[in-house]
């Protein structure tokens, strides 16, 4: 199969969908790989390394997009829509519940779109997990930075020093990203609370942190009280494929201390704070009243070398399955990979995305011919 890897065009997105090591494995397996020139530079992977791995370097994005299967990191943007074509397989993060125009273009162009974030596994979402880990670990770091008075924050050191108080960090959502955020914040010396609906998950987090993290069952009153007392709130609520629920209202935020910071990891899915709107690495924050919002929609893009390697590690077995067997047979044989199918033949296939977009989803069994 001819596999194409274009350069990402999203603002300050330095990740690439495939490492040279991954390209070598694919070419060694009998597939052809074309990489747009410079696609890996931002991640520290240069054209020479890809060429040595057996990939062919192409100058234009159109050449990279001419492949049978296109691997990307982020959803296609406006300038890429015209490069998509019917019967092409697109394998990338899509987050279509929050990307209505991209969903429309994929449907109109009859692309077979498989989303990393809805592929399942025996223990959750294996292709989302590495980026959730990266975003979760980054969240306290960027939160601590924006708490500095030079960045408009309250001037609080997240871990404090003896004789002063540590920052109160509230993590809403105890999944993979929330877990990582809580553990990093705890390691930085913060006073950490995690809020989640799943009591069993809260037990796991309590044991994992040796009781260092306070765990609270989620309800509106608890969220309101904890947000009001927080210096840093990290939102990491995920409903796979669907729009994130707005759990933190603007009224709750208004009760926070001036210079408090909110980091919305869920912004790819629309955000879990009422006041959230997507931002970029170039302009990562905005203020509402006296509080600071950080809502960068591609947080892992800030550390592209780590993120690209972690992403390739997770996606490559699925890329091989799709390339070796064809997408339809690969999905027939692997129900977890089949859950990644979001768009095919002009229809939204994944039910939560279809519901978010107000359309009906056809039967997956009908599409795969089971």
Of the candidates 25, 191, 196, 268, the residue annotated as catalytic is 268
Q: Which of 25, 31, 95, 196 is catalytic?
A: 95
Task: Tell me whether residue 264 is one of the annotated catalytic residues.
Answer: no
Which of these, 266, 299, 308, lies nearest to 280 by C-alpha position? 299
Catalytic residue list contains 95 = yes
Take residue 256 and report the two structure tokens written for it.
């926070």
Tokens 């090591």 identify what position? 21
**Residue of 260, 292, 298 lying closest to 278 (CA atoms):** 298
Q: What is d(CA 257, CA 178) in angstroms, rounded to the nearest whole number?
A: 23
Taking the alpha carbons of 140, 144, 147, 150 in that order, is the dihedral positive or negative? negative
Query: Is the Cβ–Cβ distance between 174 and 208 less than 8 Å?
Result: no
Q: How many CA atoms does the CB half-sphere of 81 hold within 13 Å?
A: 13
In terms of Cα–Cα distance, which of 229, 230, 270, 276 is closest to 250? 276
Quote the CA–CA distance of 137 and 160 in Å, as a whole number.
Answer: 19
Question: Could you list the active site residues?
Answer: 95, 268
């Amino acid at each position: 199969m001819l596999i194409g890897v274009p350069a990402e065009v999203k603002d300050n997105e330095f990740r690439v969908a495939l490492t040279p090591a991954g390209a070598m494995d694919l070419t060694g397996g009998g597939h052809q790989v074309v990489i747009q020139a410079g696609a890996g530079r931002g991640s520290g992977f240069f054209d020479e390394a890809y060429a040595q791995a057996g990939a062919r370097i192409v100058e234009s994005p159109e050449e990279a997009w001419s492949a049978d299967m296109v691997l990307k990191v982020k959803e296609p943007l406006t300038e890429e829509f015209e490069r998509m074509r019917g019967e092409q397989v697109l394998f990338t993060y899509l987050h279509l519940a929050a990307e209505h125009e991209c969903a429309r273009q994929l449907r109109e162009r009859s692309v077979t779109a498989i989303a990393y974030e809805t592929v399942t596994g025996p223990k959750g979402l294996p292709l989302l997990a590495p980026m959730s880990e990266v975003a979760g670990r980054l969240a306290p770091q960027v939160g601590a930075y924006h708490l500095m008075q030079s960045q408009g924050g309250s001037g609080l050191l997240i871990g404090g020093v003896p004789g002063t108080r540590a920052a109160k960090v509230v993590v809403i959502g105890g999944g993979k990203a929330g877990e990582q955020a809580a553990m990093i914040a705890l390691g930085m010396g913060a006073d950490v609370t995690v809020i989640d609906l799943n009591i069993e998950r809260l037990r796991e987090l309590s044991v994992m942190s040796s009781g260092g993290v306070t765990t609270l069952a989620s309800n509106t009153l608890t969220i309101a009280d904890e947000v009001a007392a927080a210096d840093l709130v990290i939102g990491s609520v995920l409903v796979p494929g669907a729009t994130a629920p707005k759990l933190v209202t603007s009224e709750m935020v208004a009760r926070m201390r001036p210079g408090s910071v909110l980091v919305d990891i869920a912004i790819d899915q629309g955000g879990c704070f009422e006041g959230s709107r997507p931002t970029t690495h170039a302009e990562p924050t905005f203020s509402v009243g006296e509080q600071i919002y950080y809502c960068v929609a591609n947080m892992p893009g800030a550390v592209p070398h780590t993120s690209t390697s972690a992403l390739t590690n997770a996606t490559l077995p699925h890329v091989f399955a799709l390339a070796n067997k064809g997408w339809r047979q690969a999905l027939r044989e692997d129900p977890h990979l089949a859950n990644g199918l979001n768009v095919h033949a002009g229809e939204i296939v994944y039910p939560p995305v279809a519901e978010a977009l107000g359309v009906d989803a056809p039967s997956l069994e009908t599409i795969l011919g089971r």
